[in-house]
Amino acid sequence: MKLRHLLSRISMEIRLFISMKTSYRPSRVAILLLLMIHGFTWNAYAQSTVTIYPSKDNTIYADNQSNSNGAGEVFLGGNNGNSFANRGLIAFDIAGNIPAGAIITDVTLRLHCSNAAQGGANPTDFELHQLLEDWGEGSSNAGNHAGPGAAATTGDATWLNNFFDGTFWTTPGGTYQSTASAVTTVGGVESYSWSASGMITDVQAWLDQPAANFGWILKSTEANSYEGRRFDSRENHTQEFWPALTIGYTESNGFTPLSLFSIFPQGLYNGNGGLNKAKDASGNHFPGNIADQVTIELHNGSNYSNTVYTASNVDLDVTGSAQIQVPSVYNGSYYITIIHRNSITTVSVNPVSFGSGPVSFGFDSPAKAFGGNLLADNGNYLIYGGDISRDGVVDGSDMADIDNASTGLQIGYYPEDVNGDGIVDGSDMAIVDNNSTGLIHFILP
């Protein structure tokens, strides 16, 4: 009985680690014992580590807003002696170096500081923030010291331009997440590392959606003068000082098919067990039998706030069906969540097991949706529509969005076009008005 209890506990702890991404790390003995018992091999979930160098890096200057340093040997961060900020930009090719479907488990960025203001006498916190817009690296070169930068060349990032001299940052100085992904205190000349859970989240997102990989911006707290630090770039003559991103990941050797059915956004429902195709100003917005697209999320079965897997831009066909391939490393039980561009987020009533082959699930009954949150329509059940603002409730703010769009004669594929006919008008308002009156809102575990 004691051995059975021990094995049960080991099994539980390892599954917690895999499904919840907790900080707990089971011992090698525990892992080996469990794998032997269940007949697994080490190749089932291959643990790997890779170190990669930047695909691009650059510096932008607050006091010389048309300057850059795309081809320079260093990039800068921190306020200069006149309290003007310098910010470093850096990006890595994640999808080109890590297999699709892998689970990121650890991320560390190493930078070599080759010069510090006042000899590093004032240690300063340097933050990594995820960039939200793409940017460029041109041929500008400000030399070894980088100082005020050099005149930007075509495609360079500057304080004002993400691509000189064509497009501008939405926010001058770089458009980035306000919350830092990691923070490290930098003093004098030596190498420093950044490693935090926020970086794991960033890298996982960039692997899953490479088109959104714009890298990080490196900045100090920018509270004082003489915070400046010079970091060696990918163009530096000494390779050991290049920025290096070390990534640990778990590679799954397979996928679990997930087939979903009876996904009927209210606005697109045709009244006869199917969906109308969403339209834009030119006609059908998607080809073939695709009605629209949804996002499918898997949430931890014990803690819904933990999203463990996301599939975006999933085709939803006219029958209300959608299919994705879930990496088989996700072999626990998860809440299935459906997110549509102008509908109420809808969740499976219970966690669904992904531990034994293909998974099929449908929202064909209120008993299948958490809180019974579906709209009955002649034997079928619909996902409530009208949450244009995606705040989880259909209310006056959604009505205001439609009112403004219809007044402006908005035509095309827009969230305000709730019924998907390509025109924002009174028919869209009717859906929102009814659901607002009914106090429709999302119901989550």
444: in domain: no
State whether 22 and 70 are in the same domain.
no
CA distance 110 to 363: 47
Point out the domain boundary residue: 191, 221, 251.
251
pLDDT at 11 over 70: no
Q: What is the pTM of this model?
A: 0.58
CA distance 186 to 188: 7
In 3D space, the residue among 179, 257, 262 whose CA is nearest the CA of residue 217 turns out to be 179
Q: Please report which confidence band the pLDDT of residue 145 belongs to, taking 50, 70 and 90 as the band edges.
A: confident
* 279-298 average pLDDT score: 96
45: in domain: no
pLDDT at 297 over 90: yes
* 210-235 average pLDDT score: 96
- pLDDT at position 113: 97
Residues with Cβ within 8 Å of residue 322, at least 6 apart in sequence: 259, 260, 263, 294, 296, 314, 315, 316
**CATH no. for residue 426?**
2.60.40.4130
445: in domain: no
For residue 381, CA distances in Å to 242, 260, 331, 345, 376 come to 57, 14, 29, 14, 5
- pLDDT at position 30: 46
183-194 pLDDT, tens digit each: 999 999 999 999
CA distance 120 to 110: 18
In 3D space, the residue among 270, 330, 328 whose CA is nearest the CA of residue 298 turns out to be 330
Phi-psi region of 84 (alpha: psi -120 to 50; beta: other; left: phi over 0): beta
- pLDDT at position 2: 38
Cβ atoms of 196 and 154 within 8 Å: the answer is no
Point out the domain boundary residue: 228, 251, 274.
251
82: in domain: yes
CA distance 294 to 434: 23
26-68 pLDDT, tens digit each: 444 444 444 343 333 333 456 899 999 999 999 999 999 999 9
* 421-429 average pLDDT score: 95
State whether 187 and 274 are in the same domain.
no
How many other CB atoms are found less than 10 A from the CB of residue 399?
Answer: 17
Lowest mean pLDDT among 54-68, 120-134, 249-263, 353-367: 249-263
- pLDDT at position 365: 96
Range of the domain at 364: 255-437
State whether 265 and 230 are in the same domain.
no
443: in domain: no
Q: Please report which confidence band the pLDDT of residue 432 belongs to, taking 50, 70 and 90 as the band edges.
A: very high
Point out the domain boundary residue: 191, 218, 251.
251
- pLDDT at position 46: 63
Q: How many residues does the structure list for the chain?
A: 445
State whether 229 and 267 are in the same domain.
no
How many distinct structural domains can be found in the chain?
3
**pLDDT, averaged across the chain:** 89
State whether 168 and 85 are in the same domain.
yes
Cβ atoms of 230 and 331 within 8 Å: the answer is no
* 95-105 average pLDDT score: 89
What φ, ψ does residue 147 adopt, rounded to 5°? 25, -115
Tokens coding 244? 């290096």
- pLDDT at position 47: 81
Lowest mean pLDDT among 9-18, 55-64, 166-175, 418-427: 9-18
Tokens coding 292? 């629209």
* 311-336 average pLDDT score: 93
pLDDT at 229 over 90: yes
State whether 245 and 323 are in the same domain.
no
CA distance 28 to 15: 14
State whether 195 and 259 are in the same domain.
no
State whether 216 and 270 are in the same domain.
no
- What single-letter amino acid sits at 42? W
State whether 133 and 164 are in the same domain.
yes
State whether 264 and 359 are in the same domain.
yes
pLDDT exceeding 90 applies to what percent of the chain?
Answer: 80
Q: Please report which confidence band the pLDDT of residue 103 belongs to, taking 50, 70 and 90 as the band edges.
A: confident
425: in domain: yes
* 386-414 average pLDDT score: 93
State whether 324 and 409 are in the same domain.
yes
377: in domain: yes
Cβ atoms of 383 and 423 within 8 Å: the answer is no
CA distance 120 to 105: 33
What φ, ψ does residue 430 adopt, rounded to 5°? -60, -40
State whether 234 and 269 are in the same domain.
no
CA distance 265 to 292: 9
355: in domain: yes
